[in-house]
């Protein structure tokens, strides 16, 4: 699936840079050069290696609230690599950070970790942003993905404005990948990330959160895991969207199609990716064996009896038990997609059906698509699984709870329309509604997601999910459509959203 990549902020820039490098390393050319990076701090571009200079856009350099230089005593701190937190919100998570306090914004380059400033910068520099976005050839891509660290002001603020702008001008889907801060980082970052998720869910066609907390492996300091986390993100995004983008060299049982990915993600909401690999035991190896196979003097026994349906079933089971980009209850997913990559001789239709049946059984959904990616010279089989619209996500609950404890979201007794809420969900303290989506604190910080005109049913854990049986899962928001699906020609519902960050606790400073 051809995909344009747009990195926003420090974390977004580094991740997109790694994705472009992975594209070249794997030979899966899925961006066709359609990449951009936006930042409010110039130094974030110093470490890029794969994003061309002309694709790096500095914004806010004349904005009065943007700092391009850091204080001398903050040099060591500002150079720390913090993925999931932009350069403008970069410092070690000290005890004072965990209490919610932050350094002065003048000590950090960029917007000082303030998403409101980030949004204002993006609005002010919107003409420059639009000129840069014009360099993306929408006719060459099937979708666009905005990548950002949701704990920082640039990632959350600028990123959301860019997503909204892309939705206004692009007919193809707009996805978002947002990195969530670890639990050892400050309450302010948790607040910014909670607000970022709250804004992105209604704006983007699907959101891929990546949880730093899960990927730091418990007691391991998160700053020591950033390179590994970026590699894991790149491997999974390339494995999903880059599948099938190699030049075809062999027949396929069921080649993955971009329409399968789009159909899986059209339910919207939060998405998570799992991936596992198994090495194939071969009966022959070495130069002479390969030469004999090429000459037709020996049978290709690679895979053999070892890669039967049972092997594929074990591989898919490993994916279900492995680390996901966003840890979640997979039984809460609406749709799933399975991609098997490996030698054609090792991937059979029976293996597909076995893997698909297992996913249906484990997730409880019958909407499971599957496809393969033939890799003739591979010595492994890889299973990549996409879970779309997962609604039971403990990590999001934790972020919301931290924001609630900090006084960021104070529930009121009435809904946004002024009527008393009879369903037990409470409004967010009179905050101005961001589009058609409200995330409220119920039962200690559970996120409730309401997508426009869909019928909503509360789940057992208090998280609301769309009623798939009542309406078309692809229709969210208004009935009128500005988009059409290039694969089917059918209209795709457009959604009108006003972007605004608000602090829902009256009289409180979000930075405390």
Q: To which CATH superfamily is domain 3-241 assigned?
A: Tubulin/FtsZ, GTPase domain (3.40.50.1440)
pLDDT tens string 24-36: 998 899 999 999 9
Residue 92 has pLDDT above 50, yes or no: no
pLDDT digit string (tens) for 243-277? 988 766 666 667 888 899 999 999 999 999 999 99
Q: Are 371 and 353 in contact (CB under 8 A)?
A: no
Name the token pair of 255. 């080649």
Lowest mean pLDDT across 127-136, 253-262, 294-303, 428-437: 428-437
**Residue 423 pLDDT > 50, yes or no?**
no
- 61 is written with which tokens? 């350099």
For residues 176 and 159, give the distance between their C-alpha atoms in angstroms, rounded to a whole number.
9
What local confidence, expressed as pLDDT, does residue 248 receive? 64
Query: According to the annotation, is 32 in a ligand binding site?
Result: no
Q: Between 166 and 97, name the one with better pLDDT.
A: 166
Is 428:504 a contact under the CB 8 Å cutoff?
Answer: yes
pLDDT given for residue 422 in this prediction: 35
Distance from C-alpha of 144 to C-alpha of 5, rounded to nearest angstrom: 6
> Would you state the pLDDT for residue 218?
65
Name the β-bridge partners of 492: 483
**459-488 per-position pLDDT tens digit:** 344 333 333 333 333 334 333 444 555 555
pLDDT in tens, 368-397: 999 888 888 888 899 999 999 999 999 999
The answer on pLDDT for 67 being more than 80 is yes
Strand pairing category for 368-374 and 380-390: unpaired
The pairing of strands 464-466 and 380-390 is unpaired
416 marked among binding-site residues:
no
Q: Is residue 154 annotated as involved in ligand binding?
A: yes
The pLDDT value recorded for residue 196 is 94
Strongest mean pLDDT among 273-282, 315-324, 484-493: 315-324
Tokens 């997109």 label which residue? 16
Q: Is 155 annotated as a binding residue?
A: yes
Strand pairing class (143-149; 3-8): parallel
Which candidate, 160, 144, 143, 32, places its Cα nearest to that of 86? 160
- Establish whether 230 is an annotated binding residue: yes
Topology of domain 271-390, per CATH? 60s Ribosomal Protein L30; Chain: A; (3.30.1330)
Residues of the chain with CATH 3.30.1330.20: 271-390
Asked if pLDDT for residue 320 goes beyond 50, the answer is yes
Res. 362: pLDDT tops 50: yes
What are the start and end residues of each CATH 3.40.50.1440 domain in the chain? 3-241
Is 153 labelled a binding residue? yes
Q: How many CB atoms lie within 10 A of CB 413?
A: 8
Question: What's the mean pLDDT in 490-508?
Answer: 41
Q: Residue 151's closest CA among 120, 111, 123, 122?
A: 111
pLDDT, position 100: 37
Contact criterion met (CB below 8 Å) for 6 and 144: yes
- 318 vs 281, more confident: 318
Position with higher pLDDT, 452 vs 322: 322
What does the block give as tokens for 307?
A: 């890669």
- pLDDT the model gives residue 107: 53
What span, in angstroms and rounded, lies between the C-alpha atoms of 141 and 36?
14
Phi, psi of 8 (to 5 degrees): -130, 125
Q: Of all residues in the chain, what percent carry a pLDDT higher than 70? A: 64
Residue 326 has pLDDT above 50, yes or no: yes
Q: Which pLDDT does position 279 carry in this prediction? A: 86
Residues 6+ apart with CB under 8 A from 278: 311, 314, 315, 318, 380, 381, 382
pLDDT value at 296 more than 70: no
Task: Enter the pTM of the model.
Answer: 0.73
């Amino acid at each position: 699936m051809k995909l344009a990549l747009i990195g926003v902020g420090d974390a977004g820039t580094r991740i997109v840079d790694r994705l472009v490098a992975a594209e070249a390393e794997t030979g899966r050319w899925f961006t066709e050069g359609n990449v951009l990076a936006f930042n409010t701090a110039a130094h974030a571009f110093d470490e890029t290696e794969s994003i061309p200079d002309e694709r790096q856009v500095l914004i806010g350099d004349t904005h009065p609230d943007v700092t391009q230089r850091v204080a001398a005593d903050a040099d060591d701190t500002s150079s720390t690599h913090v993925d999931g937190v932009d350069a403008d919100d970069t410092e070690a998570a000290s005890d004072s950070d965990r209490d919610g306090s932050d350094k002065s914004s003048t000590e950090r380059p960029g917007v000082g970790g303030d998403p409101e400033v980030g949004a204002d910068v993006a609005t002010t520099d919107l003409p420059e942003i639009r000129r840069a976005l014009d360099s993306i050839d929408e006719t060459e891509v099937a979708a666009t993905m905005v990548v950002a660290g949701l704990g920082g002001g640039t990632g959350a603020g600028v990123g959301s404005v860019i997503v909204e702008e892309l939705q206004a001008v692009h007919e193809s889907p707009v996805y978002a990948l947002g990195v969530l801060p670890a639990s050892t980082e400050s309450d302010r970052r948790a607040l910014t990330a909670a607000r970022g998720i709250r804004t992105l869910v209604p704006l983007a066609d699907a959101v891929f959160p990546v949880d730093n907390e899960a990927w730091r492996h418990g007691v391991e300091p998160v700053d020591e895991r950033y390179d590994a986390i970026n590699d894991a993100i790149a491997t999974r995004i390339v494995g999903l969207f880059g599948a099938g983008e190699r030049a075809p060299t062999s027949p396929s049982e069921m080649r993955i199609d971009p329409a399968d990915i789009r159909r899986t993600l059209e339910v919207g909401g939060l998405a998570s990716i799992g991936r596992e690999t198994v090495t194939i035991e071969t009966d022959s190896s070495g130069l002479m064996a390969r030469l004999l196979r090429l000459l037709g003097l020996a049978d290709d026994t690679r895979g053999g009896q070892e890669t039967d349906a049972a092997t594929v079933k074990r591989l898919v089971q490993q994916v279900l038990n492995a680390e996901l980009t966003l840890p979640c209850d997979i039984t809460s997913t609406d749709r799933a997609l399975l991609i098997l990559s490996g030698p054609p001789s090792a991937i059979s239709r029976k293996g597909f059906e076995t893997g698909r049946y297992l996913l249906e059984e484990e997730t409880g959904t019958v909407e499971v698509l599957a496809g393969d990616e033939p890799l003739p010279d591979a010595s492994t089989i890889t299973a990549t699984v996409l879970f779309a619209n997962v609604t039971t996500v403990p990590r999001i609950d934790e972020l919301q709870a931290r924001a609630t404890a900090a006084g960021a979201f104070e529930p009121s007794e009435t809904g946004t329309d002024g009527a008393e809420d009879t369903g037990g969900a409470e409004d967010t303290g009179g905050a101005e509604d961001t589009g058609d989506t409200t995330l409220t604190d119920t039962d200690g910080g559970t996120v409730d997601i309401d997508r426009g005109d869909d019928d909503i049913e509360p789940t057992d854990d208090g998280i609301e999910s769309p009623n798939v049986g009542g309406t078309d899962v692809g229709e969210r928001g208004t009935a009128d459509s500005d988009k059409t699906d290039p694969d089917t020609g059918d209209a795709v519902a457009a959604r009108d959203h006003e972007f605004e960050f608000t602090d829902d606790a009256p009289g409180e400073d979000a930075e405390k």
